[in-house]
A and B are shown apart, each in its own frame.
Chain A
Amino acid sequence: KNEVEQSPQNLTAQEGEFITINCSYSVGISALHWLQQHPGGGIVSLFMLSSGKKKHGRLIATINIQEKHSSLHITASHPRDSAVYICAVLKGGGGADGLTFGKGTHLIIQP
């Protein structure tokens, strides 16, 4: 079982819909990243969370440390939001092995 699980794997929605992507992890973490990857490879860090909630424009990320769960929400979705969204955790305990990634959620927003 992967240490970081995302759902759904694929999501197609209509422009304007409210989108939720979920991430569950099974290890102790010091932080969680939500990343966006567009075709061609480049990855951008959208949020880094260690508790609570963060908002940036139409994007909202929440984390529940006790339940080991995080969600990424997109309000008023737009075709330009189409991308792969990846949840990645930075393990606690002082490990130096960088991030552990989920497999990503492939989001398509249709006009």
Chain B
Amino acid sequence: DTGVSQDPRHKITKRGQNVTFRCDPISEHNRLYWYRQTLGQGPEFLTYFQNEAQLEKSRLLSDRFSAERPKGSFSTLEIQRTEQGDSAMYLCASSPRLLNTIYFGEGSWLTVV
């Protein structure tokens, strides 16, 4: 048990629908990351929060993607008007202030049909 939980673990949705994933980091960790991983590839950075501030966004994060961390605790990643190319695993990770380690959630698998 890594302590980072993600929900839902699996989501199948029709193209054009909106989906939202939630991440609950380890409680004392102020840094939270979202990554995307497709089959056979390593994870790719999407966005990063320090407390409630979104400090960095990848060019992979199109206008259809939005992430929030309203109270500096849990975070949500919303994908609007999903496309088949969005099918991937969305990984959340958190790390403490000292950046001495990082913990990953189990990931949320998205399949867009």
Contact = CB atoms under 8 A, between A and B. Distances in A.
Given A45-B101, A48-B100, A101 B43 contact: yes
A45 B93 CA distance: 11
Contacts of B55: 96
B107 A100 contact: no
Interface residues of B, number: 28
Main DSSP-derived SS at the A contact region = strand
Given A41-B106, A42-B107, A45-B104, A101 B93 contact: no
A85 to B, nearest CB: 11
B17 interface: no
Interface string A1-34: 0001000000000000000000000000011010
A101 B44 contact: yes
B26 interface: no
Interface string A37-65: 00011111100100000000000000000
Contacts of B91: 41, 43
A31 B33 CA distance: 17
A97 B48 contact: yes
Interface in B64-99: 89, 91, 93, 99
Interface of A: 4, 30-31, 33, 35, 40-45, 48, 86, 88, 90, 95-104
Interface of B: 2, 33, 35, 37, 40-45, 48, 50, 55-56, 58, 89, 91, 93, 99-107, 109
